[in-house]
Structure 1
Amino acid sequence: MEINVNFSENAKNDFNLVVRARKGEQKAYADLMQRYKESIYFMVLKMVNNKDDAQDLTVETFGKAFQKLDKYQPEFAFSTWLFRIATNNCIDFIRKKKLNTLSIDRLVDEEGNNQPLQIKSDTLNPEETSIKKQQAQELKVIVEGLPLRYRNLIMLRYFEELSYDEIAKELDLPLGTVKAQLFRARDLLSNVLNRRRKDINSDF
């Protein structure tokens, strides 16, 4: 991967951080997030108009970007690529929110695609309602199998629908720790659900 000679100084600095991050340097990941987390957050906030959702989507944006970092090509600046990921993530979020379903926060499959897990809706017929209740119960069983600290975070955030601040107070943890651990909890839950889907599909 060669640097684009037309890059600005900032873009060149980003490129160098990307190269280091690809080699596994954790500080490079942290530096990239530090450079853009605020601007990504405020862009996302303008799109979704909800602080908690904006925080979630900002974390997801960086998670997706870092997972796909090996696919980044310096045809465009890293910032352009990152903001495109953030924008697409918001569009997916807004579209799925209009479906009037509860999901475990845009779970991501092994290919990086959004996989909403629908649980309930106010306009379902009795049969659909029964199916949704069964899905919710199955999900709770899966969540119960997660490590304790992740299980508590998932339950508080998505079943009791507490805000980040409320979770931090409930668990007596720093807000930053709650956000970081919740991201890992979602990632772990996503992996468990993906394995479950594969196991189910292999039975047919």
Structure 2
Amino acid sequence: MATLARRDRQVGEETEGALLAAALGGDRAAAQELLLRHQLLVYRVCRNLLPRDQDVEAVVQETFLRALKKLHAFAGAGSFQSWIVAIAVNLCRDRLRRRRLVPFVPLETPDEDGPDPISRLEARSPDPERVAMVRQAASLVRREVQRLPSRQREVFTLRFFADLGLEDIAAALGVDVGTVKTHLHRAVHRVRAAVEEAMP
């Protein structure tokens, strides 16, 4: 099973590499396909870093416009995924600075492939008491994630909502992996402590 997943990932990377090469060669259809493959990821990142839907839509659109415009600048040192996530994160930061907003990180991220994480947990447990506990824990997590310092919130979002690996997060944020691990550890510890304190 793990071998199949690894093989699928390798095929996806090879296909992405071919699309990237074609896009860099001027093939607009390949560039559009490459960006479409990352559409949900970029949406999730923006949705979890920005509080307002209209900001999310604007930043997602700006991310893809900027990626298309700067595609020739992609050096290939990291993954394309890290590069486009870095664009999205930087645009989210810019939007927050301009609006001077307190960031909000929702747990319920719409997913075109299925229900949000909370609904999936609820579906596994038909017990109403368990569902109530999951909702309460989700509310606590949501509140605590809002309180995280911005870098910890970004790392937490990229790890748990965008499902990026540590190296991809480091590349997207322009920091080393050790820094990502530190921020992630602190964020998880803080969120876990708040949930455990509130729900003995």
Q: TM-score range by the shorter chain?
A: 0.3 to 0.5
TM normalised by structure 1 equals: 0.42
* TM-score relative to the length of structure 2: 0.43
